[in-house]
Structure 1
Amino acid sequence: MKQTALVTGATAGFGKAIAQRLVHDGYRVIATGRRRERLEALAAELGPDLLPFPLDMDDAAAVTALPGSLPEGWRDVDVLINNAGLALGMEKAQDADIANWQTMIATNVTGMVELTRVLLPGMVARDRGHVVTLGSTAGAYPYAGGNVYGATKAFVSQFTRNLRCDLLGHNVRVTNLEPGLCGGSEFSQVRLRDDAKAAAVYAGTKPLLPVDIAETVAWVLSLPRHVNINEIEMMPVCQAAGGLAVARGMKD
């Protein structure tokens, strides 16, 4: 019997690539996102093993109601891919738009934990399941303008570690995947709201791509059920963590 995976943020980028890969690997996939037309196009591409399910991660009532809102036969979710997330703005904290901060927290943290909470009891009851959450190297390495986005991804990292503690004794796995520089998605366009600036982020680089993330997810899921990959930090070879910064010539 095919396993059922739920992938959030499946309308583009990582989520779309992960959904495509999992259907190819024999999963049935519930693909969620806000843009219904994109989900329906994905279902037309992938066939009956892809269920389009419009969902706004900022809508707490819809997230809470999700398990009972799924069609019969799709309600036992074996794999949750917490992919939906975003970054908004690159301003330093003292200049940032508080609305951007609130949106990042609502999506990257609140929506993610609410969805995890409503699906975990079923996994525990069935004594099988896997939660894979998309964190970021921004959760480990600070940079100017990263402020709340980095903080939300640090939350993801600690949340998944604590989930493993709570799930000890159950055959439910938890993995935090932390990519670095990634192209081929809408991430920078959404963050910078300027196509030219977004393109400049990747100029002269060979970044990770959504297919690389999907490949990593597929590998993690393919391992024997007694093997838990706690965290994976991945970067393209053109990227490394920067050294400590020093400001010179400051006034006393």
Structure 2
Amino acid sequence: MALHVLPVLFTLLVWWFSTGAILYLNGLPNRTFKWTMGLASVMLALALWGLSVSSLQISIGSAYCAFLCAVLVWAWQEIAFLLGYVTGPRRVPCTPGATGWKRTSEAIQAVLHHELALIGLAIAVAAVSWDAPNQTGLWTFGILWAMRTSAKLNIFLGVRNLAESFLPDHLRYMETYFRRAPMNALFPFSVILSSAVAIPMWMTAIAPTTSEFQAVQLSLIGAMLVLAIVEHGFMVVPLAPEALWKWGLSSRK
């Protein structure tokens, strides 16, 4: 049981704390941003190094380490985006009344540098763990990337909850690229496809023939995927996810 429960609890803690910490740092005065970005960049370098080491080992500890390192790599781009350092060449609101390709084009320009940074980080994660026996980090980053891309597309197409309160003042223009709607045609497919990956992943994780390393590895990755599916659910239900991170948003007062 510990092979599954502990990884789930660990993932919950990492997900909740890292999100809150990033929100808190982002809410501090602008003069702190360069220090936050500098420390985040040091963290990125250490995370890639840790991933390169842990990916060569097959053990329960290395699964946890690779998972955490991948999350820290992911955290760098979250910080860079929310601080406004890595967004896109377009830093103004969407043209009023824009639809179709014009709206899509402007939205892409608003986050282009961010998307390119994600590609670069994915290449870095793949490079340091290429052909290694422990692929926990690469899978973790891949799931975070895929599910965040899905979330962005759904917010662009239209959902009930946009979580716009998470955006700092200097990124408020991003709200103009969002669309509020009960749901969109992509949303059911996002949930169904991600669930179709999560279910067999968990079935393998709890199978009696699965090794301890694989059980922990799949439990960590599977828990993160389930949390991402839950986050998708937040988009279409009348709940305020901000309540989970009041402490993180407190720095904006």
> Whose helix fraction is larger, Structure 1's or Structure 2's?
2
TM-score of the superposed pair, with normalisation by structure 1: 0.36
Identify the structure with bigger relative contact order (alpha carbons < 8 Å, sequence gap 6+): 2
TM-score of the superposed pair, with normalisation by structure 2: 0.36
